[in-house]
Amino acid sequence: MKAAVFHGPGQPMTIENIEIEKPKRNEVLVRTRVSGLCHSDLHFIEGKYPTPVPAVLGHEAAGVVEAVGEDVTHVKPGDHVVTCLSVFCGHCEYCVTGHQTICSNTAVKMPPGVARRLRWKGEHLNQYLNLSTFAEQMLVHENAVVKIREDMPLDLAALLGCGVLTGYGSVVHSAQLEPGTTVAVLGCGGVGLSTIHAAHLAGAARIIAIDIDPAKLEMAKIFGATDGMDAKDPDMAAKIIEMTQGGVHYAFECIGLKSTTEASFAMLRPRGLSTIVGMIPLGTKIELHGFDFLRERRIQGTMMGSNHFRLDIPRLVEFHMQGRMKLDQLVSNRLKLEQINDGFSALQRGGIARNVIVFD
């Protein structure tokens, strides 16, 4: 099968013929139909996060089940599925307490370099985040997929596997946003726009979109933003405190930068909550003013929006089919696998929500 092979930071991916194993116990073989190009992948491409190479990247996808291994019960061949990197065991301390995104079972959520599912030129090829969606087929654990209704367009369903799910989960699960509150979202890429949309659906009274790109601020209005602000404004936090008469109830940092993380905390009202959704580069230290904690301002991290993807994704599908979501507007371009490097270059330049790879 064809796949985009990642050779290391600063190097273009190459389209290669690779081999994939047959499904073993609890494994599912999926024919990839669509894969999104996510900013999280870009962090690894740019070397901000490490991963063993060579590898097949990609983690946001939808496809059709081709075969299943022994003891698989959730899906069968022919089922339409969305993949999710929040693979879970269902038995560890975190799973049984409802926190499956931080499942600790390394037999299921295998660390980088452990999975032996792919080969290239007769040698081991690393699987990425237990998925590797930039390939014509994926071999994954049963608990890395969720079945969806077959009339849901797969090019839109793929977005639910990471970007939309993370934004939705960050609002609904991580922050548990209350209706009628004020919200600031820092960063209006795919995840940020999804966070804005989720806050709108959850009943936020005012949603302030923050970005350096005027085009993204305009796009944010489509998804429910009531206000926009230039992230380059040195007085951004002070202006938001003034315009909200004391600060926002909730801030969501969706970029992964030191400056925006600190700003998200500074713009909170007393008892406000900042949720860090973006992937902050390893080694980065965040500085906060100690007095703010006396005003009971809070800051927290989230992993994939603390999602329950087996429940969340079918619900998001229903929202879309009812016309309550704007998934169509999230897709900026549909590309072929051979255009993957161009797609990530466009992501680096900015001005887009989500590019997707569509497989023949």
DSSP 22: P
Alpha carbon 141 to its chain's center = 19
Are 101 and 307 in contact, with CB atoms under 8 Å apart? Answer: yes
Integer Cα distance of 135 and 245 in angstroms: 50
Assign residue 24 a region (left: φ > 0; alpha: ψ between -120 and 50; beta: otherwise).
beta
Q: Report d(CA 21, CA 243) in Å as an integer.
A: 57
Report helix, strand or coil for 56.
Answer: strand
Does residue 139 contact residue 28 with C-beta atoms inside 8 Å? yes
State the catalytic residue, choosing from 35, 39, 43, 332. 43
92 is catalytic: no
The verdict on whether 141 is a catalytic residue reads no
Q: Is 38 a catalytic residue?
A: yes
Tracing tokens 């603390």 back to the chain, one arrives at 306
Q: Which residues contact 238 (CB under 8 A, 6 or more apart)?
A: none
The active-site residue, picked from 40, 170, 194, 306, is 40
Pairing of strands 118-120, 123-127: antiparallel
162 catalytic residue (yes or no): yes
- Rounded distance, CA 271 to CA 23, Å? 49
Say whether 254 is catalytic: no
- From the candidates 92, 162, 188, 254, which is the catalytic residue? 162
Task: Point out the catalytic residue in the list 38, 84, 103, 254.
Answer: 38
> DSSP assignment of 109-159, as one string?
SPPTTT---EEETTEEEEESTTT--SBSEEEEEGGGEEEE-TTS-HHHHGG
CA distance 344 to 348: 6
Q: Which residues are catalytic?
A: 38, 40, 43, 59, 162
